[in-house]
Structure 1
Amino acid sequence: MIVDLHNHTPLCNHAQGTIDEYVEAAIKAKTAVFGFSDHAPMDFDPKYRMSFEQMKKYEQDVLSTKAKYQDKIEILLGYEVDYLKGHMDQRVLNADVDYLIGSVHFIEGWGFDNPEFIGKWHEQDIDEIWQKYFDTIEEMANSKLFDIVGHLDLIKVFKFMPKGDISQMAKNALLAIKKADMVLEINVAGFRKDVKESYPSLSLLKDAYNLDIPITFSSDAHKPEQVSLFNQEVVKMAKAVGYTECAYFNKRQKKFLRF
């Protein structure tokens, strides 16, 4: 990937490898711009994220790595922030970073993408849950707190698919993303999950293209060997839809590179 903005570190408690190992893998993959956006701290679900006390270490580690590799690759600093009302913290939202990824991992407090809680799927109306998910994405976009939409259709992770029209379910969310001038990431992590495809799907990516919503690319790596995995598949998909450039950020300012 020429740009790869969504990657993690061991500080989130569920990633492996050193920061240097991720960067070396990105250099090997000929990535021009590589971003760390580890799970930001919040007062909910602390098991899967850094603590507030670790923010300074995280930022210093990424910035020192940026200086170390400045002649080989551009390193960016970001956070992946859970959009969860009542739990977002100004220390994160006002952090001095290049970008913030807004992600939805919870519906009414339920971690729907966490294998620990997969049993709850069997208690739900699938179509209703999908709509609630996209409604929350719409709320997240309307907040205008974030630069990038994380894994747009993560709700499909375990392949509990709705009967209804997904494009119709996501319509208002995409319109809100467009209005908020956000970037949509093409995230390859879905290839490593049950659904075996990127986030978003080809169909939703076409809908985004028709709305002139810009894209970026993301490995969502939790191990160095996942960096740029499935790169060819997502670049090919983006080009087939019509995209020719992808976004990255410097101090919250959007820039573009052709791919």
Structure 2
Amino acid sequence: MTIDLHNHTPRCNHAEGSIDEYIEAALAKGIYIFGFSDHAPMDFDEKYRMAFEEMSGYEEEVREAAERYKDKITLRLGYEVDYLPGHMDERVLNAEVDYFIGSVHFIDEWGFDNPEFIGEYENADLDTIWREYFEAVEAMAQSRLFDIVGHLDLIKVFNYKPRSDIRTLAEGALDAIASADMTLELNAAGWRKPVAEAYPSLDLLRMAHDRKIPITFASDAHKPEQVGYKMGQLHALARKAGYSEAADFHRRERRLLKF
């Protein structure tokens, strides 16, 4: 069973391709459970996400596709929600979806994974920003608003690494994820970035396994040709850390399936 729960649509304003093109790409890669989790609307950084008035259209479009393709593939509906206190909206958090991915893309409103703002790394203490990033992930888990942790160590995206042991920096976040019974995604997008490795690293994935944190898989595709990107390598990484099952979600209920 091949699962891929983190994928986008053009409604986020930085992806391309139709919903049907993503689905056809998933079918071609042998993916049987495929999820759309586009960037949820928010009153901050609006140009990289859908507007609130687009939510119903997005949800209807995915549900209609699920019906059209029901004999070929299982489609899931979700949102990727930025954890940014003061900006998360009940209209999103109360949506009737299969799952919410909670992601940290901002440190004090700095979009650290956006190439537009990469220059900030030159002025920052890397140990400090890595610590602040994982503190935000910890707070996100403690909020218990979300089902899946998006790209756990995204802060490594441009390959700026701290002096401190990353395992120590991430320990509190992983403890909080385990306590909240969240699922951790293995995300292939890091292989398309300067860091050139999946999120999370094998070290952090092993720590997650030690804490009995379930996993799922994510292409994080922003165009159809990225669907299923390095899926075999993701599975191999998971097995290397000790995993043999991955999570699927339906109406926010989790089930684990062999992969």
Normalised by the shorter chain, which TM-score bucket? Answer: over 0.9
> Per-residue CA shift, 1:1-28, capped at 9, x if unaligned?
7000000000000001000000001011
Q: How is 1:16-165 mapped onto 2 (pairs within 5 angstroms)? A: 16-165=16-165
Per the alignment, residue 188 of structure 2 pairs with 188
Q: TM-score, normalised by structure 1?
A: 0.99
Three-state SS of the structure 1 residue aligned to 2:256 is strand
What is the root-mean-square deviation in Å for CA atoms of aligned residues?
0.6
* 1:241 shift after superposition: 1.3
- The letter of the residue matching 1:57 is G
* 1:63 shift after superposition: 0.3
> 2:181 and 2:138 mapped to 1: Cα distance?
13
- The letter of the residue matching 1:108 is D
- The count of aligned residue pairs is 259
> 1:240 and 1:139 mapped to 2: Cα distance?
29
Per the alignment, residue 237 of structure 1 pairs with 237
| Identity across the alignment (%) | 61
2:175 counterpart of 1:170:
no
> 1:62 and 1:32 mapped to 2: Cα distance?
15
Three-state SS of the structure 2 residue aligned to 1:247 is strand
* 1:256 shift after superposition: 1.3
Three-state SS of the structure 2 residue aligned to 1:184 is strand
Gaps of 5+ in 1: none
> Per-residue CA shift, 1:159-199, capped at 9, x if unaligned?
00001000000000000000000000000000000000000
* 1:232 shift after superposition: 1.2
Gaps of 5+ in 2: none
Per the alignment, residue 247 of structure 1 pairs with 247
Per the alignment, residue 198 of structure 1 pairs with 198
* 1:248 shift after superposition: 1.0
Runs of 4+ in 1 over 2 A off after TM superposition: none
> 2:223 and 2:48 mapped to 1: Cα distance?
15
- The letter of the residue matching 2:85 is K
